[in-house]
Amino acid sequence: MSEFIVNASLMGLLAIIGVLIIQQHRLFAVIILSGAYSLSAAAWFVIADAVDVAFTEAAVGAGVSTVLALGTLSYVPREEKARSVEPLAMTISLGAGLLLLLAVLDMPHYGSDAAPIHNHVAPHYITQSGSEIGVPNIVTSVLASYRGFDTLGETAVIFTAAIAVFLILTGWTRKKN
């Protein structure tokens, strides 16, 4: 029960921050709120046992991401053009949410150990990684060893993204005549 209260209040906080982001027209406030959103999400990840993810979300989502957004904000207008609620967009997102709620009815129960995700390769990682890899943190051994190809690909994506940003930001825009 206490876990439910902590969990639900963090999720509620996230929803409130999300609604504030939609309402707010000053982009500086929007970016700071998105940093707060990332930090609350990191707190929620700790509750959900994902300590490595929480660490990354706090450092990347709340830290570097906010700095980059503020860097962008120094080149663009500070205020968003005011807009009213858009009924069509609201209908589409509510409809998509309703469809996803229907899908949730078919999901395995939250926290149940009979779910397919817990009965495929995960038991091998949990029981064997201690003797096969010899590293206490299972996330590290899966990340670097069992799924090393995956991480190699992710590193290559980061490399490519950095090259792309360089190409975009070191050129200059020709003005139209």
Partner 1 sequence: MNIDLLLTQWNYVLVIILMMVGFYTVIARGNLIKKMVGLNIFQTSVFMLYISMGKLVDGTAPILTGDAATVYSNPLPHVLILTAIVVGVATTAVGYALIIRIRESFNTIEEDEIIDAVNADLQAEAQS
Partner 2 sequence: MHDDPVIRVVSKVLIPSIMLYALYVQFHGDYGPGGGFQAGVIFAVGFILNAIVFGVNRGRHVWPSSLNLQCIALGLLIYGGTGVASLFLDGNYLDYNVLSGDPVAGQHLGILLVELGVGLTVSSVMVALFFAFAMRGEHVRLLAHDSTEGKEKAKTKPKAKPARKPAAKGAKS
Residues 5-34 that bind partner 2 (CB under 8 A): 28
In angstroms, the CA 92 to CA 82 distance is 21
Phi, psi torsion values for 109, nearest 5 degrees: -60, 145
The only residue of 6, 128, 132, 157 in contact with partner 1, by rule CB under 8 A: 157
Question: Which H/E stretch holds residue 21?
Answer: helix 2-23
In angstroms, the CA 49 to CA 55 distance is 11
Q: Is 79 helix (H, G, I), strand (E, B) or coil?
A: strand
Please state, as a whole number, how many other Cβ atoms lie within 10 Å of the Cβ of residue 45: 19
- The window from 3-11, 94-102, 115-123, 127-135 that contacts partner 2 (CB under 8 A) reads 127-135
Of 103 and 169, the one with the shorter C-beta distance to partner 2 is 169
Question: Which H/E stretch holds residue 73?
Answer: helix 65-73
Site for partner 1 in 65-124 (CB under 8 A): 65, 68-69, 71-73, 75-77, 80-81, 83, 85-86, 89-90, 92-94, 96-97, 100-101, 104-105, 107-113, 115, 117-118, 121-122
Q: Is 99 helix (H, G, I), strand (E, B) or coil?
A: helix
Please state, as a whole number, how many other Cβ atoms lie within 10 Å of the Cβ of residue 53: 16
133, interface contact from partner 1, partner 2, none, CB < 5-8 Å by kind: partner 2
Please state, as a whole number, how many other Cβ atoms lie within 10 Å of the Cβ of residue 124: 11
Of 2 and 122, the one with the shorter C-beta distance to partner 1 is 122
CB of 2 to partner 1, least distance (A): 13
CB of 38 to partner 1, least distance (A): 7
Give the interface with partner 2 as residue ranges (CB under 8 A).
28, 51-52, 54-56, 59-60, 63-64, 67-68, 70-75, 131-137, 139-141, 143-145, 148-149, 151-152, 155-156, 158-159, 161-162, 165-166, 169-170, 172, 175
